[in-house]
């Protein structure tokens, strides 16, 4: 497994390449080994998977007090992480990563960060580990066209959920 690297822009965010063992049958991939995590106090209690078709943009989502370990299992996505914690020195800072099966394919997000991604391949499968149950704490979102990140996204006609389109822009967020 690859080593986690800190983002230069957002030092609270870690990412890495998780290797795969492939043969004629397919592949095996280890997602998490507690001893590899840069933060040993995270106790993940739920796993979830999302599947996205071509031209889908999801986000920007976050849940109160949520840590997430996000792994791209299949595909090629543009991933955006935005600090939404008004008490943080990193408020409104963001990073954008290309995630690929054979490149950076895992990120570790602490609370206070919104996450979104755009599927720029044919289909994408993302695996999420979370330290809180989905819906057990308030769920929030920030509009993907918020001023600080509007120019980051690949210019394309994206397909989005009505929920994601209804989120307030960060500059209007209460």
Residue 89 clears pLDDT 80, i.e. is over it: yes
End-to-end C-alpha distance for the chain, whole angstroms: 40
Residue 35 clears pLDDT 90, i.e. is over it: no
The Cα 29–Cα 20 span in angstroms is 5
What predicted TM-score, i.e. pTM, was given to this entire model?
A: 0.89
Residue 174: pLDDT band with limits 50, 70, 90: low
Domain enclosing residue 26, as ranges: 5-172
Cβ contact 108:14 at 8 Å: yes
Locus of tokens 């920030």: 142
Q: Between residues 163 and 1, which one has the greater pLDDT?
A: 163
CB atoms within 10 A of CB 123: 13
What's the chain's average pLDDT? 91
Instruction: State the total domains in the chain.
Output: 1
Summarised one tens digit per residue, pLDDT across range 116-164 is: 999 999 999 999 999 999 988 889 999 999 999 999 999 999 999 999 9
The Cα 106–Cα 102 span in angstroms is 11
Within a 13 Å sphere around the CA of 167, how many CA atoms are in the beta-carbon half?
23
82: domain CATH number is 2.60.120.10
| Three-state secondary structure call for residue 106 | strand
Residue 73: pLDDT band with limits 50, 70, 90: very high
Of the candidate ranges 12-16, 66-70, 73-77, 129-133, the one whose mean pLDDT is the lowest? 12-16
The Cα 143–Cα 128 span in angstroms is 21
Q: Which DSSP category does 165 fall into?
A: H
Bridge partner list, 108: 14, 69
């Amino acid at each position: 497994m690859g080593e986690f690297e800190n983002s230069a822009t957002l030092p609270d965010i870690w990412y890495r390449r998780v290797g795969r063992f492939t043969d004629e049958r397919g592949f095996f991939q280890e997602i998490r080994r507690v001893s590899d995590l840069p933060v040993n106090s995270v106790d993940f209690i739920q796993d979830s998977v999302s599947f996205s078709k071509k031209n889908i943009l999801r986000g920007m989502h976050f849940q109160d007090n949520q840590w997430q370990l996000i792994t791209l299992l299949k595909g090629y996505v543009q991933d955006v992480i935005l600090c939404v914690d008004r008490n943080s020195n990193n408020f409104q800072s963001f990073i954008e990563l290309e995630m690929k099966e054979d490149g950076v394919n895992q990120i570790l997000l602490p609370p206070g960060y919104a996450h979104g991604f755009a599927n720029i391949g044919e289909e994408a499968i993302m695996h999420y580990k979370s330290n809180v149950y989905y819906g057990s704490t308030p769920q929030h979102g920030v509009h993907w066209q918020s001023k600080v990140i509007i120019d980051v996204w690949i210019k394309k006609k994206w397909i989005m959920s009505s929920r994601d389109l209804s989120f307030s822009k960060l500059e209007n967020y209460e």
